[in-house]
Amino acid sequence: MGAIKIFEDIYQVGGYGITDMDDCSIYLVNSDPELVLIDAGIGRSFSRIVENIKELNLDPERLKAIIVTHGHIDHIGGLSQFKERFDAKVIAHELESPMIEEGRGIGADWYGVSYTPCKIDIKIKEEKGEIRIGKYDFKLLHIPGHSPGSMVCYLDIKGKRILFGQDIHGPYSIPGADPKLAKKSLKKLIELDADILCEGHFGIFEGKDRVKEYIEYYLRKL
């Protein structure tokens, strides 16, 4: 299976069934003239992701930024390859610095892979942030719980709010996780009232009610 179009300028270019089975869901935003990736996978699918971008008739040389939702290996393993090949800027919350820049507590051993530490070019420090890349404003929200510096990104396009919520499902029992903070964070995500949720491993959820139900399901489990 190749890339999947989700909405105007929004695509899934990696993840289970598309690239390596251990990849998180990897999303692409065509923020003309620039391309933006949301997460980078475990690191074994770099070439396939690049080919998927090309198959969308998009030039991977336009890739200028990678927004990292959190520092687990299945989300950051490919960062160094994209940074080296395309000089893409890495954007992440500063609390994920030990993971992304030093490789501490990323879970690489769980998957039997190695990790090349990667510099964060833009460190988000506030609870809320906004970055203009190309034609879109990328809104960022710090949602600790799955990891200390977990954050989501969302865009408003043609009256629809697209939320790159990533690992809403957790888990919240691993080192670095905090179920109490996760409860507060998931409530914030519900308040965003998103129309489309692009989750970290379980696909795309469309419609406000369906997005809300999905988040509430994991909130009840905490």
Give the per-residue pLDDT at 7. Answer: 98
| Separation CA 205–CA 145 (nearest Å) | 21
| Separation CA 211–CA 196 (nearest Å) | 7
What residues form DSSP beta bridges with 19?
16
Q: Considering only CA atoms, give the Rg of the chain.
A: 16
Give the per-residue pLDDT at 182. Answer: 97
Split the chain (222 residues) into runs of 10 and give each run's mean pLDDT. Answer: 94 97 97 98 98 98 98 98 98 98 94 96 96 98 97 98 95 94 97 97 96 97 94
| pTM, full prediction | 0.97
Domains and CATH numbers, the chain: 4-221 (3.60.15.10)
Give the per-residue pLDDT at 166. Answer: 85
